[in-house]
Amino acid sequence: MHGIEPIVGSAPSVARRRLLARLVGIGLAGSLLPGAARAVPAPAEPTLLVVGDSLSAGYGLETGAGWVDLLRRRLRQLRTRWQVINASISGDTTAGGLARLPALLSRDRPRVVVIELGGNDALRGLQLTDTRANLEQMVALCKHAGARVLLVGMQIPPNYGAAYTERFAAIFPEVARTQHVALVPFLLAGVVAHPDWFQSDNIHPTARAQPVMLETVWPRLAPLLGLRAGREAAR
> Rounded CA gap, 50 and 86, in Å?
5
> Rounded CA gap, 24 and 110, in Å?
43
> Rounded CA gap, 202 and 19, in Å?
82
Closest to 145 in 3D by CA, of 116, 174, 99, 113: 113
Concatenating the DSSP letter of every residue in 93-142 gives: -HHHHHHHHHHHHHHH--SEEEEE--HHHHHTT--HHHHHHHHHHHHHHH
Single out the catalytic residue among 90, 130, 194, 204: 204
CB 209 within 8 A of CB 194: yes
Q: How buried is residue 56: exposed, middle or buried, by Cβ count under 10 Å (0-12/13-18/19+)?
A: buried
Write out the H or E segment, with its range, that includes residue 92. Answer: none
Concatenating the DSSP letter of every residue in 179-194 gives: HT-EEES-TTTTTTT-
Active site residue 200: no
Active site residue 204: yes
Single out the catalytic residue among 2, 180, 196, 201: 201
Single out the catalytic residue among 53, 54, 56, 108: 54
> Rounded CA gap, 92 and 103, in Å?
16
Query: Which residues are catalytically annotated?
Result: 54, 201, 204
